[in-house]
């Protein structure tokens, strides 16, 4: 029995060694290395300089004819900002082949995040915001360029510490909020003030619908500050 087991081990090892050194088979590790180099080069060309390419794996049992021509690498769509990338690998010779290899990518950037847990309805203060290096591919939506633009706004939903602060999750003026409507002429020499109620959410500079409390008329006005909207007359 020991002799049979020993023979099986020797035969199995011999087969594995033969597969690994098969001169008709293109080395899988060289293809994996080529995919990694291609993705890194493409990201550099796209302007990314802080990233990590992970999980470039091809089934080692795959038998691909040895490619004597330069191997071609390609993608069918831009790769920047994506966490999963599929790379095409092509051997252009007559008995060549084409395979597709998936890899995961982390692309890092410094963005403004919640410095601590923020509850729904909380007012955003300066100490609630911090700049942090995160994997930007995990962030869905527009981020904040200037933290001053959201100070004084309120959270529309709970934001956990370390999570990106996104304009869509904040409102400088929130739906249902009582606001001050400032009507002014183009030169700013004439100003009138009246009360109103916000019909939609918005941030500074955005146009929202507001109901005039006196006339009950719905108008469009631009958010100029927390609790204040402006119209030009």
Residues 165-180 have pLDDT tens digits of 998 899 989 999 999 9
Would the pTM of this model clear 0.75, i.e. be above it? no
118 has a pLDDT exceeding 90: yes
The domain over range 109-170 is classified in CATH as 3.40.50.300: no
Q: Quickly tell me which residue has 């191997």 as its tokens.
A: 71
Confidence of residue 6 (pLDDT cuts 50, 70, 90): very low
Confidence of residue 103 (pLDDT cuts 50, 70, 90): very high
**Every domain range in the chain assigned CATH 3.90.1210.10:** 109-170
3-state secondary structure 185-215: CCCCCCEEEEEEEECCCECCCCEEEEEECCC
Protein fold of 178-232: SH3 type barrels. (2.30.30)
When comparing pLDDT for 92 and 17, which is higher? Answer: 92
**Contact call for residues 195 and 175 (beta carbons, < 8 A):** no
**Every domain range in the chain assigned CATH 2.30.30.760:** 178-232
pLDDT at 20: 53
Please state, for a pLDDT cut of 70, what percent of the chain lies above it.
Answer: 91
The span from the CA of 179 to the CA of 5, in Å, is 84
- What distances in angstroms separate CA 151 from CA 22, 28, 155, 172, 191, one per listed residue? 64, 53, 11, 8, 26
* φ, ψ at 169 (rounded to 5°): -95, 5
Rg of the chain over Cα atoms, rounded to whole angstroms, equals 30
Residues 209-222 have pLDDT tens digits of 999 999 999 999 99
pLDDT at 221: 95
Which residues, listed in sequence order, are joined to residue 182 by a DSSP beta bridge? Answer: 193, 230
Cα atoms in the 13 Å half-sphere on the side-chain side of 144: 26
Residues 65-96 have pLDDT tens digits of 999 999 999 998 888 778 889 999 999 999 99
Give the number of other Cβ atoms within 10 Å of residue 51's Cβ. Answer: 20
39: DSSP letter: H
For residue 220, give the H/E element and its range: strand 218-225
Q: Quickly tell me which residue has 């493409």 as its tokens.
A: 42
Confidence of residue 191 (pLDDT cuts 50, 70, 90): confident
């Amino acid at each position: 029995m020991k002799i049979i087991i020993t023979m099986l081990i020797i035969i199995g090892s011999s087969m594995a060694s033969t597969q690994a050194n098969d001169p008709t088979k293109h080395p899988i590790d060289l293809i994996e290395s080529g995919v990694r180099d291609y993705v890194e080069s493409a990201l550099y060309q796209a302007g990314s300089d802080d990233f990590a390419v992970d999980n470039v794996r091809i089934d080692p049992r795959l038998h691909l004819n040895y490619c004597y021509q330069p191997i071609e690498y390609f993608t069918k769509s831009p790769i920047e900002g994506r966490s999963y990338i599929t790379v095409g690998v092509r051997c252009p010779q007559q008995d060549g082949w084409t395979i597709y290899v998936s890899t995961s990518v982390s692309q890092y950037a410094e963005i403004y995040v919640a410095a601590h847990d923020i509850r729904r309805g909380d007012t955003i203060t300066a100490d609630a915001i911090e700049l942090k290096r995160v994997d930007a591919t995990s962030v869905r939506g527009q981020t904040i360029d200037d933290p001053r633009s959201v100070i004084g706004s309120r959270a529309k939903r709970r934001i956990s510490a370390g999570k990106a602060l996104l304009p869509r999750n904040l409102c400088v003026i929130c739906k249902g909020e009582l606001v001050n409507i400032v009507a002014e002429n183009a030169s700013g020499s004439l100003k009138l003030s009246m009360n109103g109620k916000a019909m939609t959410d918005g941030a500074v500079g955005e146009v929202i619908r507001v109901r005039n409390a006196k006339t009950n008329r719905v108008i469009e006005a631009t958010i100029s500050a927390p609790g204040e909207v402006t119209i030009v007359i």
